[in-house]
Chain A
Amino acid sequence: MTEPTIYELSSSGRTGVRYPAPDVPVSDLPKGFVRDNLPLPELSELDVIRHFTHLSSLNYSIDSGLYPLGSCTMKYNPKINEVTARIPGFAFTHPLQPEDTVQGNLALMYDLQEHLKEISGFSAVSLEPAAGAQGEFVGVSIIRAFHRQNSDPKRTKILIPDSAHGTNPATSAMSGFEVVPVPSDSRGNVDLAALRAVCDDTVAGLMLTNPNTLGLFDENVLQVIKIVHEVGGLVYGDGANLNALLGITRPGDLGIDIMHFNLHKTFSTPHGGGGPGSGPVGVTSRLADFLPSPIVKMIEEGTDEIAPLYSLFTPKHTIGRVKSFQGQFGMFVRAYTYIRMHGPEGLRKISEYAVLNANYLLSKIRNSYHLPYDRTCMHEFVVEGMWSDIPEIHALDIAKRLMDYKFHPPTNYFPLIVHEALMIEPTETESMQTLDLFADAMLKIAEEAKTSPQLLKEAPHDTPIGRLDELRAAKELVLCCWYPEEKQD
């Protein structure tokens, strides 16, 4: 059954939510500025509730099943987060209110900043960037600002390992840098010789994801960072894979200069069907002045009787504002709630079990799927979604068949350095039983690939809709609902 669109459900004259008549004397509307047609649907409240309830039933979600999506960290989203974010004392504050009326918000932001600093080993944190990609943009902008301040304009290159997420080169290019790829070696580490060969004083920095997108912790990470530092470059850490490192090691300790956090990955804020995320950035002390504004500072320490006083602050050499207001505040409340529930012991447990789960799952499927880099993985691992003796089966077909087993597929086709990659990250909130069921499905599919490949090629069979014609979507480009002309009056 296709769910109609809101325009198809619309019935002329139907009203939903009503508002009171004006309680003030009425003024004339501005001549020449009043629109004569407002093409919005007309639905009752029940129409709306039913429509969106139906739509929700067409979705897979963490609440319904496992999402082994590598690099996305699809962990359980605690319900308490939704309660705390909605506390009226938070939800009903206007972003431009005078600071003495929002000391609670500022205190929470300050405490979150402090917690993130301690977790990552950085000296300063800005919560402002709205998502990981924005956090990256901030990181690269700080690199540029730093070198500019040191009158070092010949540093035009950013080094990026070939396993990197697409946002890394995109961000570098949009910030005016030349992207220089650095190959990985046969163990999945950054190739040290290749790195040394490209490191000179025209290098502004290296964007490093560690553990990388293969799920591997770089065996030479200290060396890698040292080589770049020795030529005067900075090291930016992509914090997408931080779920492997909480309480295990601190990027700041390893020598990383800047890193972005993904609150919607590591810190359990919900993915929302594609956002909102939140991408705070942490830096070492020599870069603190470049952070985007605003940051929360404690301007007066508290006593036993009086709370401290907080204020918003613009760093001396800030790269500027990247978003309106103070960042994704609602996500700060959620992430901070999560961090407070865990504390240091709990945080370490997260990473321990994230890594345990990934290695366990790997141990269950490695005999059926080729593992290109045979090492202990961190919180995720990459296998090949293909068999050389069954050339017609691709990772995509495995992915689609998994849906028939009621699982969301892993990330596919990424990283680019593995053929038909399947990047699998179970996260720590999945039980052994769930992992067994998933491993079971993967093994069954491997068997089906041999005996009845058509099942994979034509998958999925049991989902609300089958494989969609993406070519048609791109060619015809229908991006808006159709609605009959006569409904416009």
Chain B
Amino acid sequence: MNTPANLKYTKSDEWVLLDGKIATVGVTDYAQEQLSDVVFVEITVDIDDVVKKQGHIATIESVKAAADVNSPVSGKVILINQDLANSPEHVNTDPFGTAWMVKIEISDLAEMSQLMDAKTYEEYCSTRSH
């Protein structure tokens, strides 16, 4: 299982890449493994929407399951990955790269400290039942 060290993680399997005040959000390798073949991704926020931490930002559908993606941080949505609509399988093949979902201009940097680092997230995943 891949867990890039430069990212932060949530218990609900979202990752965050922070660059200044811009947070890029997606779902982790663990998440895509649980879902198996993703057939559809719907981003449920628009550009300029204000999201709160835990707010719903996307729905991922696979053959057997549907999962909600919730924002790890509060802020304003500034960019949405339009490609995911046509290539949902990127969530399986490249969850940390081309399958990024939204970019958010965060409003409260302090929220980042509430997220897990790579090592903690890896430990957390190893305790979970499959």
Contacting residues of chain B (44-103) with chain A, CB-CB under 8 angstroms: 61, 63
Q: Inside 8 A of A471's CB, which chain B residues have their CB? A: 37, 39, 63
Q: Inside 8 A of A474's CB, which chain B residues have their CB? A: 39-40, 61, 63
Q: Does A345 contact B (CB under 8 A)?
A: no
Contacting residues of chain A (416-466) with chain B, CB-CB under 8 angstroms: 419
Would you give the shortest CB distance from A475 to chain B, in whole angstroms? 5
Q: Inside 8 A of B39's CB, which chain A residues have their CB? A: 471, 474-475
Using C-beta atoms within 8 Å of the partner chain, give the interface range for chain B. under 10
Contacting residues of chain A (452-489) with chain B, CB-CB under 8 angstroms: 470-471, 474-475
Q: Inside 8 A of B129's CB, which chain A residues have their CB? A: 419
Q: Inside 8 A of A470's CB, which chain B residues have their CB? A: 63
Q: Inside 8 A of B63's CB, which chain A residues have their CB? A: 470-471, 474
* Chain A interface main SS type: helix
Using C-beta atoms within 8 Å of the partner chain, give the interface range for chain A. under 10
- Which one of B39, B40, B61, B129 has the greatest number of beta carbons of chain A within 10 Å? B39
Would you give the shortest CB distance from A468 to chain B, in whole angstroms? 11
**With the chains together, A92 CA to B61 CA distance in Å?**
45
Q: Inside 8 A of B37's CB, which chain A residues have their CB? A: 471
Would you give the shortest CB distance from A421 to chain B, in whole angstroms? 14
Would you give the shortest CB distance from B39 to chain A, in whole angstroms? 4
Would you give the shortest CB distance from A414 to chain B, in whole angstroms? 12
Q: Inside 8 A of B61's CB, which chain A residues have their CB? A: 474
Q: Inside 8 A of B40's CB, which chain A residues have their CB? A: 474
Closest to B40 in A: A474
Would you give the shortest CB distance from B25 to chain A, in whole angstroms? 25
**With the chains together, A357 CA to B129 CA distance in Å?**
34
Q: Inside 8 A of A419's CB, which chain B residues have their CB? A: 129
**With the chains together, A181 CA to B40 CA distance in Å?**
28
Closest to A470 in B: B63
Closest to B88 in A: A475
**With the chains together, A157 CA to B129 CA distance in Å?**
29
**With the chains together, A474 CA to B65 CA distance in Å?**
12
Closest to B39 in A: A474
Closest to B89 in A: A475
Q: Inside 8 A of A475's CB, which chain B residues have their CB? A: 39
**With the chains together, A180 CA to B65 CA distance in Å?**
21
**With the chains together, A164 CA to B61 CA distance in Å?**
22
Q: Mark A67-80, 1 if CB is under 8 A from B, else 0.
A: 00000000000000
- Which one of A419, A470, A474 has the greatest number of beta carbons of chain B within 10 Å? A474
Would you give the shortest CB distance from B87 to chain A, in whole angstroms? 11
**With the chains together, A419 CA to B129 CA distance in Å?**
10
Contacting residues of chain B (9-39) with chain A, CB-CB under 8 angstroms: 37, 39
**With the chains together, A474 CA to B63 CA distance in Å?**
7
Closest to A419 in B: B129
Closest to A413 in B: B64
**With the chains together, A474 CA to B64 CA distance in Å?**
10
Contacting residues of chain A (181-195) with chain B, CB-CB under 8 angstroms: none
Would you give the shortest CB distance from B129 to chain A, in whole angstroms? 8
**With the chains together, A470 CA to B40 CA distance in Å?**
14
**With the chains together, A475 CA to B87 CA distance in Å?**
10
**With the chains together, A470 CA to B63 CA distance in Å?**
7
Would you give the shortest CB distance from B84 to chain A, in whole angstroms? 14
Q: Mark A377-420, 1 if CB is under 8 A from B, else 0.
A: 00000000000000000000000000000000000000000010
Would you give the shortest CB distance from B85 to chain A, in whole angstroms? 13
**With the chains together, A475 CA to B86 CA distance in Å?**
10
**With the chains together, A35 CA to B11 CA distance in Å?**
57
Would you give the shortest CB distance from B42 to chain A, in whole angstroms? 14
Known: A470-B63, A471-B39, A474-B40. 7 other contacts (CB 8 A): A419-B129, A471-B37, A471-B63, A474-B39, A474-B61, A474-B63, A475-B39
10 interchain pairs (CB within 8 A)?
Answer: A419-B129, A470-B63, A471-B37, A471-B39, A471-B63, A474-B39, A474-B40, A474-B61, A474-B63, A475-B39
The 5 closest A-B CB pairs, nearest first, are: A474-B39, A471-B37, A470-B63, A474-B63, A475-B39
